[in-house]
Amino acid sequence: MRLATAITFSPVSFSLQWDGHDVMWTWEGAGTWLPLKSAQFPNFRDLFARAVPEEIREYSPPFLGALQEPGLVQLWTGIVARTAPGWSLLVRAPVNVPRSGTYELFEGIIETDRWFGPLITNMRLTKTDVPIDFRADFPLVQVQPLPRQAYDEATLNNYRLVPNLDLLAPEDWDDYYDTVVRPHTQDVRPRGQYAAAARKRRAAEDGNAPGG
């Protein structure tokens, strides 16, 4: 079974404005701008207190918070995640979605099989004195499962550099021919040839996987 990448959205439309020092914020229907220090999602504090053990009731995660560093803001989309042993989550800006010129999302790997808590997203505001809008219907954060083996030291240090073209093996040039040359020698070149082949290969792998 394949783990899916999740695209998350803000739970409410809101706006930020930064003057180079302080951050103000407002939300859909608020009608006013307020200084941002640490803000709870509307009514969430009471909902959290009713749902959790008594010793945790005063520790509901904030929806938004301004950090001490100028222009840095934390945002929680409402996700609390736990992954299977050996799996982490890569939290980043959505891929293939045009970036805003007014803020930049940080990205990082959280070992959510060992650490359980709210997935907080950090962002840097990059433009001052203009409203920066976040819509509830627009992708905000991408959460992607990642096996720890993919980034551990043993994996990352297991590589070999080939410094010269003449040191590539014949099978490397065979693969290069299939990838680069062969498509240009076809009388009729189907569009999306690589994507179609990748989907076909993935379907075959899923069909052979236990429980797939």
In this predicted structure, the answer to whether residue 46 has a pLDDT above a threshold of 70 is yes
pLDDT value of position 25:
97
What are the Cα distances from residue 179, in Å, to 3, 166, 176, 183, 197?
Answer: 28, 19, 5, 7, 12
Q: Is 18 exposed, middle or buried (0-12, 13-18, 19+ CB in 10 A)?
A: buried
Q: Tokens at residue 99, please? A: 């970036």
CATH superfamily placement of domain 6-150: Deoxyuridine triphosphatase (dUTPase) (2.70.40.10)
pLDDT tens digit string along 47-71?
999 999 999 999 999 999 999 999 9
Q: Is 55 exposed, middle or buried (0-12, 13-18, 19+ CB in 10 A)?
A: exposed
pLDDT tens digit string along 120-172?
999 999 999 999 999 999 999 999 999 999 999 988 899 889 999 999 999 99
pLDDT tens digit string along 159-205?
889 999 999 999 999 999 988 888 888 766 666 666 666 677 777 77
What are the Cα distances from residue 207, in Å, to 2, 31, 147, 197, 210?
Answer: 11, 54, 21, 15, 8
pLDDT tens digit string along 68-110?
999 999 999 999 999 999 999 999 999 999 888 999 999 999 9
Start-end of CATH 2.70.40.10 domains in the chain = 6-150
Which of the four pLDDT bands, split at 50, 70 and 90, describes residue 4?
Answer: low
25 Cβ partners below 8 Å, 6+ apart? 14, 15, 16, 17, 33, 34, 36, 39, 64
Residue 117 CA to its chain's centroid (Å):
16
In this predicted structure, the answer to whether residue 212 has a pLDDT above a threshold of 50 is no
What are the Cα distances from residue 121, in Å, to 1, 6, 14, 57?
Answer: 28, 14, 15, 22
What are the Cα distances from residue 52, in Å, to 48, 61, 64, 108?
Answer: 6, 12, 21, 28
pLDDT value of position 1:
35
